[in-house]
Amino acid sequence: MTIIHYNHAAFMLSVANLKQLPADQGIEVAIVGRSNAGKSSILNCLTHNKNLARVSKTPGRTQHINLFALDEHRRLADLPGYGYAKVPDEIKRNWQALLDNYLRSRECLRGLLLVMDIRHPLKDFDQQLLMWCSSCNLPVHILLNKSDKLSKSGIAKTLLDVSDAVNCFQNPVTLQAFSALKNTGIKELREKLNEWYS
């Protein structure tokens, strides 16, 4: 079994268009979700490097695709957050086009980590993304982040509700609770990534 050293993750580059991406080879896993759901925080948590991805209290700060290398063949891609209302329409359209084109064209994409705030799961665009992944049979692992904001029973209930809601999809969809603040859920996340990267 290959051992992946997540704490060796290194920033590679930030791209504003797909032509700047590295060669479409090896294995890439992308992290997506609504702006402010905690994508960058989760990357920092996964890699035990609080400076790796920029964490911002101002939603919508990650406007490019940021790529991180785990090793020569494996990468993580932090995709632009969607759904942040205060961004001008034109910029919003550019992000969505970037996201959409990336998801459509990237052959080395092995799976999507879909991050949601556990208090507000399955918003419109999350659902659209899930349907899109189902239509092209791309595996999705849902991270219900900010679980520190709910009680144990609240977490269990949301896990059940979301699990019921995604049951109808044909592609592999798994889910877990996570807290980037409390560092909970890292082991489960690494297990999923190990599966995708092997």
- Contact positions toward ligand GTP, by CB under 6 A? 33, 35-41, 55-57, 59-62, 81, 145-146, 148-149, 179-181
- Shorter beta-carbon distance to ligand GTP: residue 56 or 174: 56
- Return the residues of window 16-35 that contact Mg ion according to CB under 5 A: none
Shortest Å distance, C-beta 38 to ligand GTP = 3
Shortest Å distance, C-beta 86 to ligand GTP = 11
- Shorter beta-carbon distance to ligand GTP: residue 188 or 195: 188
Shortest Å distance, C-beta 37 to ligand GTP = 4
Sign of the Cα pseudo-torsion (101, 103, 106, 107, in order)? negative
- Shorter beta-carbon distance to ligand GTP: residue 71 or 181: 181
| 40 lines the binding site for Mg ion (CB under 5 A) | yes
- Shorter beta-carbon distance to Mg ion: residue 80 or 185: 80
Shortest Å distance, C-beta 181 to ligand GTP = 3
Residues lying near Mg ion in the complex (CB under 5 A): 39-40, 62
